[in-house]
Amino acid sequence: MTSTRRLLHAADLHLDSPLLGLSAYENAPAEDIRGATRRAFEAMVDLAIEEQVIAVLLAGDLFDGEWRDYSSGMFFVKGLRRLREADIPVFLLRGNHDAESHITRTLELPSNTRELSTARPESVHREDLGISVHGQGFAQRRVMENLAAAYPEAAGGMFNIGMLHTALDGAYGHDPYAPCTVSDLAGLGYQYWALGHVHSHKVVEREPHIVFPGNLQGRSVRETGPKGCVIVEITDTTVSSVRPVALDVVRWTRVKVPISGCRDRHDVCDRVGAALRNASEEAGERLMACRVELEADAATQSLAWRERDALDAEIRSLSGDFDQVWVEKVRPVTAEREVLAASLGSATGEALHAAATELMNDPARLREVLTDAGLTTGVLQVFRDGEVDLHDPGLGRRLLGEALDELLAHLHPTRTDGTDQRKAGL
């Protein structure tokens, strides 16, 4: 007889994670964004019940850090209780954000919920469900040893699940906690590895399945695109499918708008309007938090930078025409970044960062350095042409900061995808 069963695997819930600097945004739908991690968790519980899963696996970073009060913990327990009412067991462990040493407040977990030990790998055998769950949580925030090395061999005749909060071999741009290799994991003979820590969904391996579900809800423009959990289908003792399900209630997105050929602000706004309409259609029920990136070429760079404040205001007011769209920021991006990167390619990111920090305090000197280097890229061109008044300290510094950001994004090894996830402390 063939039997098909389902599991729900999620990680990195970061319940009640604050959006840093949210108050600095004018007109931000603060309440929507602040409540997003909770709404996404509720949607996850609904999904588990709807899909009649046999277990829910939560692979660490359930909380963003120490709770300000008990309400984060109580909210979590409320969700676990709903799962208990539906007879669904929950297995969970702690990650770097909710390491045992880090969360001092404690909670009574409902009887359906099993937290795996932080002292040693723990195995729970559920003959009634045909599953064995193995895992160890984080005792401290910075776990640098290979936790998987001490995990037990697979239990015979069971569907074995390994749970672990890890960046694997660190190739994913996250803090290299609980480092291990794919072959360390594969060698244990488990049928499924429920990982956490990396915030984007990824099926790392299929034999056996090693999966990051990604976080449940993006927390900033660094975490764009659909976020949610995976539903794992098991036929007998084999994984027959891993299906990602989006649960995010606020979706972060970069709306890229090429502006080549635009003659003025009006042209730019026409193009942005069309792009925001698409975003709005994609949004469905959820709120789209949009970073608008104006992709300028040599002919339009100075328009994008010089008219920046006016464009920002016009695009924000334009976004009011679309339901469910909020413009987080409007940002010109320069098209010739490769040229820029190549001319400075010999410098290491670290050295550059130090130099940049120093130069930031001396805009006139920075301009000199960049001009001497013969850089012609976007914003720098504007400086050189004297279209930006560097004696206006606010504007000058902001533009310089962004020019350096661009530059670092392309030179610093941890920013290979244009984001700095290390700094984000995932």
Tell me how far, at minimum, the Cβ of 321 lies from Mn ion, in Å.
Answer: 36
The site that binds Mn ion (CB under 5 A) totals a number of residues, namely: 3
Residue 61 in contact with Mn ion, rule: CB under 5 A: yes
d(CA 21, CA 14): 17
Residue 138 or 383 having the CB closest to Mn ion: 138
Span of 21-29, 57-65, 372-380, 394-402 interacting with Mn ion by CB under 5 A: 57-65
Q: How far is the CB of 98 from Mn ion (least distance, A)?
A: 9
CB of 385 to Mn ion, least distance (A): 44
Nearer to Mn ion, 12 or 223 (CB): 12
Alpha-carbon gap, residue 159 to 368, rounded angstroms: 64
Q: Which residues contact 270 (CB under 8 A, 6 or more apart)?
A: none
Q: 3-class secondary structure for 365-395?
A: HHHHHHHHCCCCCHHHHHHHCCCCCCCCHHH
Residue 29 preceded by cis peptide, ω within 30: no
Q: Does 426 bind Mn ion (CB under 5 A)?
A: yes
Q: Residue 148 or 426: which CB sits closer to Mn ion?
A: 426
State the minimum distance, in angstroms, from the CB of residue 165 to Mn ion. 8
| Separation between Cα atoms, residue 166 and residue 12, nearest integer Å | 11
Q: How far apart are CA 315 and CA 387, in angstroms?
A: 23
Q: How far is CA 207 from the centre of its chain?
A: 26
Tell me the CA end-to-end span of the chain in Å, nearest whole number. Answer: 44
Q: How far is the CB of 102 from Mn ion (least distance, A)?
A: 13
Nearest one of 345, 361, 355, 349 to 397, comparing CA atoms: 361
Q: What one-letter code names the amino acid at 44?
A: M
Owner of token pair 């976004």: 319
Count of CA atoms in the C-beta half-sphere (13 A) of 118: 18
CA dist list (Å): 122 to 49, 86, 303: 26, 25, 60
Report the nearest approach of Mn ion to the CB of residue 283 (Å).
Answer: 25
In the complex with Mn ion, which residue's Cβ is closer, 82 or 202? 202
For 32-66, b where at least 16 C-beta lie within 10 A, e where not — what string? bbbebbbbbbbbbbebbbebebbbbbbbbbbbbbe
C-beta of 223 vs 402, nearer to Mn ion: 223
Minimum distance, C-beta of residue 340 to Mn ion, in the bound complex (Å): 32
Q: How far is the CB of 151 from Mn ion (least distance, A)?
A: 21
Q: In terms of CB distance, is 340 or 426 closer to Mn ion?
A: 426
Q: Which lies closer to Mn ion via its Cβ, residue 61 or residue 402?
A: 61
Residue nearest to Mn ion (CB): 61
Kindly state the smallest distance separating residue 267's Cβ from Mn ion, in Å.
41
Which stretches within 226-362 are classed as H helix? Answer: 265-283, 301-306, 308-319, 337-343, 349-360
Tell which positions 1-20 bind Mn ion, by CB under 5 A.
12
Minimum Å distance from CB 199 to Mn ion?
Answer: 6
Q: Is residue 223 near Mn ion by the rule CB under 5 A?
A: no
- Three-class secondary structure of residue 252 per DSSP: strand
Q: Based on CB atoms, which residue is closest to Mn ion, 215 or 381? A: 215
Question: What does the alpha-carbon distance between residue 197 and residue 12 come to, in Å, rounded to a whole number?
Answer: 6
Is 288:282 a contact under the CB 8 Å cutoff? Answer: yes
- In whole angstroms, give the CA distance from residue 135 to residue 192: 12
Structural contact between residues 132 and 154, judged by C-beta atoms closer than 8 angstroms: yes
Q: How far is the CB of 426 from Mn ion (least distance, A)?
A: 5
Q: Which is nearer to Mn ion, 138 or 305 (CB)?
A: 138
Q: Is 62 in the site for Mn ion (CB under 5 A)?
A: no
Closer residue to Mn ion in complex, CB, 217/324: 217
Q: Which of residues 224-263 bind Mn ion (CB under 5 A)?
A: none
Contact segment (CB under 5 A) with Mn ion among 25-33, 54-62, 149-157, 308-316 equals 54-62
User: Could you say whether residue 98 binds Mn ion (CB under 5 A)?
Assistant: no
Residue closer to Mn ion (CB basis): 12 or 293: 12
Under the rule (CB under 5 A), what is the footprint of Mn ion? 12, 61, 426
